[in-house]
Structure 1
Amino acid sequence: MSISQGKKIRLIRESLDMGRAEFSDITGIPKQTLIGYEMERTKPGGEALAAVAKVWPEYAAYLLTDETNVKQRNPELEALARELDDQKKAS
Structure 2
Amino acid sequence: MSSAAGKKIRAIRESLDMGRQEFADLTGIPKGTLIGIEQDRHEPKAGVLEIIAGHWPEYAAYLLTDNTNVKQRNPEVEALARELEDQKKAS
Report the TM range for the smaller structure's normalisation: over 0.9
Q: Extract structure 1 runs of 4+ deviating beyond 4 A.
A: none
Q: TM-score, normalised by structure 1?
A: 0.94
Distance in structure 2 (CA, Å) of the matches to 1:25 and 1:82:
41
- 1:61: which partner in 2? 61
Structure 1 unaligned regions, length at least 5: none
- 1:41: which partner in 2? 41
Structure 2 unaligned regions, length at least 5: none
- 2:17: which partner in 1? 17
Amino acid corresponding to residue 22 of structure 2 in structure 1: E
Name the Cα RMSD after superposition: 1.2
Q: TM-score, normalised by structure 2?
A: 0.94
- 8 Å CA contact retained: 2:3, 2:40: no
Distance in structure 2 (CA, Å) of the matches to 1:14 and 1:77:
33
Between the two proteins, the alignment pairs up a number of residues equal to 90
Q: What percentage of residue pairs aligned between the two structures are identical? A: 72
